[in-house]
Structure 1
Amino acid sequence: MSMKKVFVVSMAAAVITTSVAGAVSAAPAAKPAAGTSTAQVKNATLTINGNNIIVRSIVKNGETLVAVRDIINAIGAQAEVVGGATVIQLNGHKVSLQNKSKQLDVDGTKVDLNQPISIIGGTSYAALRPLVSSVGGTVSLKNGQLEISTIALIEGAENPRIAGAGHLIVSKNDEQGRNDYLVDTATGKYELLLTTEGGSDLVVSPSGTQAVYTNAEGAVYVIDLTTKASKLITSDTSIKPELVWSADESSIYFLQGDKGSVIANLNLADGSIKKLVEDKVDYKENLNVSASGKRFIYTVTTLGKVTADATNVDEDNIDIDFSANQQQLFSYNNGDGKPEAVKLTTSTDDKVFIYSADGQKAYYVSVPSGEGNASLMSVDASQKPVNVYNEHDVEQAILSGSILYVLASQDEKNSVILAIDTVTGQQSKLYTVSSDVSSIVVKGAQIAVVENGRVLVQAEGGWKSITK
């Protein structure tokens, strides 16, 4: 696949001394001085770090040369004149160029140019591609227009989550804890959002404007994704293994306790906690909450049974029947007069990627213990699983609105991303991607994939890397 990196432009003025201004002047387009060049200077529109920028350019001997000063300003580089040469610094690179020279000095290494740096109307012009690549950038052609990227991408980021239009949250872990970053999907530009040690993942709200998390002690915070300010909601230290936003973003549902036996609700206005389901059933997971907040779908895991010598633990001859390990789906209607859990499944297959929009019907990926494809299934109170998709081996499923997005392995080299309408049942193939794609992230019309540790977003029919 062709990866194109496009980033937001930094419009801050470059640090240019008076002598640099004379060497690489930003004067209006001018005709060449007599005896310098017959090339005609034109204003060209380039996509530079995500924005359309007008720069002065010439085409000379079939190669595009651009005004050095214009490019310096557009990419937000630092520059100064040292010993008659213009020295540019960006992304840890140091580039030295001199008028009429056919070489660039890039981090101490000489890079040959096809033609010398030209002077037209008192302005220096250099070949676009080597100038951009010297500071770690890329140049590509898209829809007949040159696209330039010079901002460094975040490296080694994990767990992408869509956070409103045009943004993702990604995380990096180290010995000190976890750093969460907000990434602009149009540009790859990123900023530190939160640093935690032992806290939960950030869970983004339905609107994408805020996210909730717990610290290592279990206290709950909400962070505003615009101001980056965190607000303490409750200091309650009970374990909260799963956090789920209410549809109106006024509260948070969560499983409570180290065994997840309770379903509770946290009011964001006053920090009060109310237990909604307290049926003493342990090991609840995969909590889904309906828009009304009255219905829940979740899984319950039963563990293996000790079948012999249960009391003689010192003799190391305890027999445990692991075939009893099962995970089943349940629904719970808290709006009933006498609410109770309803078992939806009875099969012994592994069940992953559990989703429900209404708290009545659930969708999940069934993973067989033996040969055969993993299948996307649906089930309701009838306890009759329905096969939704199994043409290819299902690797992941995500429910966004009324659409199920499916990542499935097509063959050894390719995977497919499908959209399945849960109302009409209509299926459509959206993309064919590399088999190296390990997961997808979807919210509304936004989609991202993880491929070989990089996060890529869909942009105008192609995949663009926003991390490396």
Structure 2
Amino acid sequence: MKTSKVLGMILASVVVATTAMAPSAAAEAGHKTAAAKTSVSQLKVVNQSVVIDGAQVSLKTVSVNRVVLYSLRDLARGLGASIKQSGAELTVTDSQGMHAVTLKAGSKGYQVDGVNAQFTVAPQSVQGSLYVEPTAVIDALGGEVLPGTSELRSTGRLSGQFSSPWFNAAGNVIVSQDDAETAQLFKLGSNGQSELFSDNGNLIGATLSPDLSTAAFTDENGALFLINTGNGIVKKLGSDTTVKTDLTWSADGKKIYFIQGDKQEKIAYISLDTAQVTEVLADKVENKAEVQVSPDEKKLVYFVNVTGKAETDKEGTEESLTIDYSKAGTQVYSLELGKKDAKPVQLTKELDNKLYLSLLSDGSAAYISADPDGATDGSVLKLISADGTKISNLVADVDVVSSRAVNGKLVILAEDANGSHLFEVAPTGAKTEMYSTKASVSEWALAKNGTIVLIEDGKVILVQSGKSTELTK
């Protein structure tokens, strides 16, 4: 719990919000200190502007041997902590009652939750107030000084590896912690404050409703569930337990479409008001995936993953078994809804790997094409015209990692020699950069107000009005 002089000097130039309880002047008075190399009478009290939890406040400081100490009373008020006195000792407790720091004037030794620690500079009593090393106290109370900044937080950020970010209707970020012993999803605020949202591992990869108020997911038995993204309340939808994958909501939020069956051979939807499952397509073609539905629900597009064809002799011996991969690959199909006897139409023929299918508002469909043989560098964003007669390269000058239609926009994550980029892509292929970083971005989500959340090297990054904030560490 030692505080470096450098951090102490950084804190002298910062910005803090005030809340909570603080001791009376008498609670800090009466402590005489022998300040090393500096007479207490020579210490000058200076008001500093500090930021805590995004709010600004002025608090008193003194400098001892170039280490800046903060008024414990002011610091506790800003952190929402309380202070109690017992003889010569003061005990500072965080607002949640989880951590306690016991210290006294003139003594470098202090305790954090009963464990001994040492200040670099002993707390100083000046003009009836006690002054302490801020970083040591903040860390001890479960808070944090953001590295490279002058911002303080009363609650430290979560630490670990995170994935699967999404926004709820209130604008909070929901993420999964990958390195936890058990599945855990956390709700993060814009300042990095966090709370456990759910420990249900089936929620990872849940599909959000258009208004972001509800997420749909299935359990290991195929049952479908809905969770309120605000309060975390879960309810079961219907009693059907057939295998359901690739859930996608209708634009009006009244239906959830999905791939159905043990071999992903069907397409169906469930109505939220009746919980009735309705079959849309059952052509016995297996390995369907990524079903997408148009806003007017007149058209579906989906992938079919074609696998190798096994061949053997009449006896079916193992030695004669061969697998023909000449036609293996992923193909895009479309289906007109509401048209009697409509048949699926194959829109592609190339044997490239195809990922991230999106059905756009004009009826065209976009997907990422990756060369299975590595003959070309990177992946290309391709566009299938609305009538299905033309396929063209929409973005080919960067390596396209993922793509998604969000809020009526086609957005891609791409990489080049300069790092990772998030672009909005126009129907002409023109790109508008939304975010750029030299770090490696693996996942992202976009809120309706334009706020972005990304996973950079396992950390959760929030981007608002061009400013990025690390929500985790």
Q: Give the TM-score of the pair, scaled to structure 1.
A: 0.82
1:431 aligns to what SS in structure 2?
Answer: strand
Q: 1:23-172 to 2 correspondence within 5 Å? A: 23-24=27-28, 39=44, 42=47, 46-50=50-54, 52-58=55-61, 60=63, 65-77=69-81, 79-81=83-85, 84-89=88-93, 95-101=101-107, 107-113=115-121, 116-120=123-127, 122-135=128-141, 137-139=143-145, 146-148=151-153, 150-172=155-177
**Pairwise CA distance, 1:461:** 3.5
Q: Distance in 2 between matches of 1:402 and 1:134?
A: 47
Task: Give the one of 379, 382, 394 matched to 1:388.
Answer: 394
The answer for the alignment partner of 1:178 in structure 2 is 183
1:288 deviation in Å? 0.9
Q: CA deviation at 1:194?
A: 2.7
* Equivalent position amino acid for 2:353 in 1: D
> Which of 320, 323, 326 pairs up with 1:320?
323
Q: Distance in 2 between matches of 1:436 and 1:211?
A: 28
1:450 aligned partner, one-letter code: I
Match of 1:463 among 465, 468, 471: 468
Q: Is the 8 A contact 1:97 1:104 kept in 2?
A: yes
Aligned partners of 1:249, 1:169: CA distance in 2, in Å?
A: 20
Seen in structure 2, the aligned counterparts of structure 1 residues 216 and 373 have a Cα distance that, compared at 3 Å, is closer
Q: Flag the 1:83–1:155 CA change in 2: closer, same or farther, 3 A.
A: farther
Secondary structure at 1:108 match in 2: strand
Deviation at 1:22, TM superposition (A): 3.6
Taking structure 1 as reference, are residues 387 and 334 closer, same or farther at Cα in structure 2, changes over 3 Å only?
A: same
**Contiguous gaps of at least 5 residues in structure 1:** 1-7, 26-34
Q: Aligned AA for 1:110?
A: Q
Q: Report the secondary structure of 1:312's partner residue.
A: coil
Q: Structure 1 pair 111/123, CA: closer, same or farther in 2 (3 Å)?
A: closer
Contact kept? 1:343, 1:383, Cα under 8 Å: no
Contact conserved, 1:353 with 1:398, CA < 8 A, in 2? yes
Verify the 8 A CA contact 2:157 2:471 in the aligned structure 1.
no
How far off its partner does 1:297 sit?
A: 1.0
Q: CA deviation at 1:239?
A: 1.0
Q: Which of 235, 238, 242 is the equivalent residue of 1:231?
A: 235
Q: Is the contact between residue 99 and residue 119 of structure 1 (CA under 8 Å) also seen in structure 2?
A: no
Q: Distance in 1 between matches of 2:181 and 2:187?
A: 19
User: What letter corresponds to residue 361 of structure 2 in structure 1?
Assistant: D
Name the Cα RMSD after superposition: 3.4
Distance 1:104 1:123, change over 3 A: same
2:213 paired residue number: 209
1:289 to 288, 293, 302: 293
SS at match of 2:244: coil
* Cα displacement (A) at 1:277: 2.2
Give the Cα–Cα distance (whole angstroms) in 2 for the partners of residues 78 and 322 of structure 1: 69
CA offsets per residue over residues 251-302 of structure 1, 9 Å max, x none? 2111211222222221112212211222322211011111112211110112
**Match of 1:259, SS?**
coil
**In the alignment, structure 1 residue 449 sits paired with structure 2 residue 454:** yes
Q: Deviations over 1:7-55 (max 9, x none)?
A: x9895x56x8x8x874248xxxxxxxxx85774564x6533223x1535
Q: Distance in 1 between matches of 2:80 and 2:157?
A: 13
- Closer/same/farther in 2, CA of residues 290 and 425 from structure 1, 3 Å limit: same
Is the alpha carbon distance of 1:21 and 1:152 closer, same or farther for their aligned partners in structure 2, counting shifts above 3 Å?
A: farther
Q: Name the amino acid aligned to 1:394.
A: V
Which residue number in structure 2 is paired with residue 370 of structure 1?
374
The answer to whether the Cα contact below 8 Å between 1:200 and 1:216 also exists between their aligned partners in 2 is: no
Q: How far apart are the structure 2 equivalents of 1:112 and 1:132? A: 15
Q: Deviations over 1:401-430 (max 9, x none)?
A: 33332222222xx42314234345431233
| Aligned match for 1:402, one of 391, 408, 416 | 408
Q: 1:378 to 1:424 in 2, by over 3 A?
A: closer
How many matched pairs? 439
Instruction: Return the alpha-carbon distance in structure 2 between the equivalents of residues 449 and 382 of structure 1.
Output: 33
* Deviation (angstroms), 1:139: 3.2
Which digits, 9 at most, give the CA deviation of each residue in 1:208-258, with x for residues without a partner? 222112222222221112232222221211111121112122221112112
Q: Which amino acid aligns with 1:108?
A: N
SS in 1 for 2:280: strand
- Specify the code of the residue in structure 2 equivalent to 1:171: S
SS class of match (2:355): strand
What is the alpha-carbon distance in structure 1 between the residues aligned to residue 231 and residue 155 of structure 2? 26
Mapped to 1, the partners of 2:427 and 2:170 lie a distance apart of: 25
Identity of aligned residues (%): 27
Distance 1:177 1:60, change over 3 A: closer
Q: Which one-letter code corresponds to 1:248 in the other structure?
A: D
* Paired amino acid for 1:336: K
Mean Cα displacement is larger for which, 237-246 or 221-230? 221-230
Rounded Cα–Cα distance in structure 2 between residues aligned with 1:351 and 1:416? 21
Residue 196 of structure 1 corresponds to: 200
1:242 aligns with 246
Moved more, 96-105 or 248-257: 96-105
Alpha-carbon shift at residue 346 of structure 1 (Å)? 0.7
Task: Look up the SS of the partner of 1:72 in the other structure.
Answer: helix
Secondary structure of the residue aligned to 1:282 is coil
